[in-house]
Amino acid sequence: MIDFDNYSYGYTEILRENLGMFGRDIDYYAEYKIKIILKNTVSYPNRILDYGCGVGRHIPFFLKYFPNAEIWGCDISEHSLKTAETLNPDQNFFSLNQYDFISKQEFFDLILVSNVFHHITNKMRVHEMRKIKGFLKSSGELFVFEHNPYNPITRHIVNRCPFDFDAMLLKPSEMKTLLIKNKFNIFKKRYSLFFPSALKKFQCLDEFLGLIPMGGQYYFHAEK
């Protein structure tokens, strides 16, 4: 697996440069996911975990759209967590390398896992999903976003991204299998991100396009 410690301090700029003509407003992509979560969540969560939070790009938008929730982030990259803590003071972070998992079992009402699984080897994916499920309370909600391998623009962006050189994109059917094997109740599967930030004025159309397998990403909304 790629060592994200090597990219933590320049992550945002690398991402911006890699997107290039598709739009340099990278906050758009983080906020986009949180708005989907807000629209689809069954009940207001008291504790939210951004699993694989990296440098914490989603945290400000969780604070914006879920102001009464307790926000947490975790990652295996220690350097990324330090950057996340600097950018998001007074929030809660822990390392997946060192933390006592037992203390956070069934602790969270909602978990976001954004573009994490394509960095995980095939044989470890079921185990990782089981670990994520352990953090959720009973009836807790899970939102998983992944790059859409059916979208040629997405594949192009991933192929040229330096911190995606180990990426093994998952088909939606593979993600569905992971969720079923871990006995999640799946509420919804949709394709998303049909318009990059340069065309964000058309974002309102995404809701009508969600069943078309050409969005830049896809997501699953599931329940423990």
Cα-based distances in Å from 74 to 51, 84, 92, 98, 161? 5, 10, 9, 11, 23
CA angle 65, 4, 104 (to 5 degrees): 55
Residue 118: what residue type?
A: H
HSE-CB of 83 using CA atoms within 13 angstroms: 19
Residue-level pLDDT at 20: 65
What angle, rounded to 10 degrees, do the helices at 152-160 and 11-19 form?
140
Residue type, 202: F
The 3-state DSSP class for residue 59 equals: helix
Token digits for 210?
Answer: 């969600």
- The reported pLDDT for the residue numbered 200 is 84
pTM here is 0.92
Measure the CA–CA gap between 9 and 55, rounded to whole angstroms.
8
What is the enclosing helix (H) or strand (E) of 163?
none
| 56-93 tens-digit pLDDT | 999 999 999 999 999 999 999 999 999 999 999 999 99
Q: How far is the C-alpha of 140 from the C-alpha of 124, rounded, in Å? A: 23
Closest CA to 193 of 56, 41, 33: 33
Count of domains forming the chain: 1
Half-sphere exposure of 130 (CA within 13 A, CB side): 6
- The pLDDT assigned to 99 comes to 65
Each residue's pLDDT, cut to its tens digit, for the chain (224 residues) gives 666 656 566 667 766 666 666 666 888 999 999 999 999 999 999 999 999 999 999 999 999 999 999 999 999 999 999 999 999 999 999 998 876 666 788 899 999 999 999 999 999 999 999 999 999 999 999 999 999 999 998 998 888 877 777 889 999 999 999 999 999 999 999 999 998 888 888 888 898 999 999 999 999 999 99
Query: CATH no. for residue 95?
Result: 3.40.50.150
- Report d(CA 66, CA 47) in Å as an integer: 10
**Which domain covers residue 170, as residue numbers?**
4-223
CA gap 61, 55 in Å, rounded: 13
What's the CA gap between 194 and 178, in Å, rounded?
A: 25
Which residues 6+ apart lie within 8 Å of 155 measured at CB? Answer: 149, 169
What pLDDT is recorded for position 128? 94
